[in-house]
Each structure stands twice: as structure tokens, then as C-alpha cells.
Amino acid sequence: MNDTFLRACRGEKTEYTPVWFMRQAGRYLPEYQKVRSKVTFLELCHSPELCTEVTLQPVDIFGFDAAILFSDILIPMEAMNLELDFHEGKGPVFARPVRDQQAVDALVVPDPEESMPFVMETIRLLRRELKVPLIGFSGAPFTLATYLIEGGSSKVFLETKKMMFQAPEMYDALLRKITTCTSLYLQAQARAGAQALQIFDSWAGVLAPCDYERFALPYVQSIIRDLREVTDVPIIYFANNGATLIELTRTAGADVLGLDWRINIKDAVRRVGDHAVQGNLDPVALFLPKTDLEARIKKLLDDAAGARGHIFNLGHGILPQTPPEQARIAVDAVHRLSRG
């Protein structure tokens, strides 16, 4: 088994820099489109065989050093008793947003093995096939809460922040339920065989640092504390748009901090040197001509040279418009240029 990724997460020496991409299984791949053309996104998420197939695709095609379980951060929200749908071109939609105490009380904290057996089955199937480590994941409680409260994607997060500021006790009750659900869900993934766990805080960057510290960070810390009691798999915390929060995210308790592209990785390493770092190429840099893309990758590798461990990644998910050939150029360049 190629364990380069796991060793980098733990801050151990590696022969080259391991690489994987957020959203590496997805619409930029014709192979994914083919599977997806026969089923809806939710049907795909509920099928262990199809999830296994699309998880393996990018690993087989490009030689990534880790696989990420194919699912979605909102799948456990279905298990909490919420009606979830994905609308073409619009993203996730919750028909009944959670905006009052009654709605909070109606949420159940599910047993992950009973309510999401298809996820655990996917993990078991993948472990039989994979020769690289498997990353399990969840959303962070704040990010998940924004979808529940807004009823879908948002730009201003008015309803979420209103609940924080006007009904902090209700907000806390909601976040505690999501936190317990997420904590149990990640523990179950580790038990099923996930070898690392990533927590996606996609919307952390919309909060003022004082609000992040009060309304988002404590719930992440609680999940990681729980995980440490039952498993020693590396934990990656990705707070998107988090450059202004980095001294705070450092206290989350993770092994690895995921970085978006808005921060220079050298600056990040200086500020969180006790962590391994993951990132942080602008996903749009994959549209650079080959020589410019390779030069940019070389610079990033050099800037990260002082890190306690570096896992190469994009600063956010790969865009659906990306030519697959560009992903291949990037993966090959990381492998070639990082060898000592």
C-alpha cells in the first residue's frame, strides 16, 4: 500500500509530496458523467457500488495518492429527518428550512450505521480495492447549519447570522445536535475503515473572527476531541477562506490544516508550523499553459518546503470545466518536481 499521504499527515518524511484534489471525483471527468447520466445525484450517493466506482475513477486515471469517499456533506442531514433535494444548476435545497425551536426539536440524532449503511458499505468495498489510503469526511457543524437554516446555498447568510445574534440558545441547540450527529458519523466511518478524516468548513470565511470563535470553532473542537478518544487516524480541518482565522483554526485540534489559495503557503507554515498543511493551488491555475502551471507548482512546493508535512491539493474543489488532461499534468508535476 502507498502510505505516502498518511506519513505526510503525521509529519513524517516522504520520498515525494503526495497529492489529491478536493472534488477529484466529479463532473470534469467523462467517466463520472457517464455514471451520473443514468441516476440522480442522490441515487448515486445511496448506491455503494456506484460510489465505489466513481471514487476509484480519478485514482486509477491520474494516480492520486489518496482517495476520498464519494458522498456529500449533506447526506447525514437527510438522516436527521430533513428532506433534501439537489436541483440542477442550483445545488442543494431543503424544502423546510430549520428556523424555529420546533424545527430544531424535530431533528433526530441518527445512529449512522443504521441510517447510512450505504456509506459504511462503500468504505468497506473501497478498502478491498484501493492501494492508496481512503479519506472519509463530513461537513463542519457551522457549514452544515448554514444549509439547514438558509434552506440551501447562500451569499449573505442572513438567516444563519440572525439566529446566532437573535436566538443564540436556539442556534446552540441546533449546532449541538449537528455536532453529535457528525461526531458519531465520523467515528463510524473510521470504524468501517476510513484511514483519514477531513472536516469541510466551506463557509467559515464568512464569519468575523470573534463570531467564528464563538459560533463555529467550539463545535469542531468537540468533534475532534471525541474522535481522539476512539481513533488515531489523521484529521484534516479545511476552513475555506480562512486566512484571517488561521491562529484560531490552529486550535481546532487537527493534525493537518487545509488551506485555500488566498494565503501564501509559506506564510501559513510560519503561522501554523506545528501542523502539516494541505493545499493550496488556485483551482483556476489548472487552466494555465503547461509550462506556467508547472512553474507555479514548483514555486508552491518550494514555499511549502519548511512544512512539518505537505499534502499537495487545490485551494478548493476542482471546477467542472477543467480539462482532465490538466489534472494529469499537475499530478505528474507534483510527483516529479518534489522528488529530492
Enumerate the active-site residues: 23, 27, 36, 72, 147
In the complex, minimum distance from the CB of residue 8 to ligand CP3, in angstroms, rounded to a whole number: 18
Nearer to ligand CP3, 146 or 187 (CB): 146
Given the complex with ligand CP3, which of 201 and 255 has the nearer CB atom? 201
The least distance separating ligand CP3 from the CB of residue 153, rounded to whole angstroms, comes to: 5
> 59 vs 329, which CB is nearer to ligand CP3?
59
Per-residue burial over 198-237, b if 16 or more Cβ lie within 10 Å, else e, is bbbbbbbbbbeeeebeebbbebbbbbbebbeeebebbbbb
Closest residue to ligand CP3: CB criterion = 202
Query: Which grid cell sits at 151?
Result: 434552506
Shortest Å, Cβ 252 to ligand CP3: 16
Task: Please state, in angstroms and rounded to a whole number, the distance separating the CA atoms of residues 307 and 264.
Answer: 13
Q: How far is the CB of 292 from ligand CP3 (least distance, A)?
A: 25
Give 14 or 240: the residue with its C-beta nearer to ligand CP3. Answer: 240
Residues in contact with ligand CP3 by CB under 6 A are 22-27, 36, 41, 68, 70, 72-74, 86, 91-92, 137, 153, 200, 202, 240, 317
Cβ-based neighbour number of residue 244 at 10 Å:
15
Q: How far apart are CA 279 and CA 285, in angstroms?
A: 13
The H or E element containing residue 131 is: none
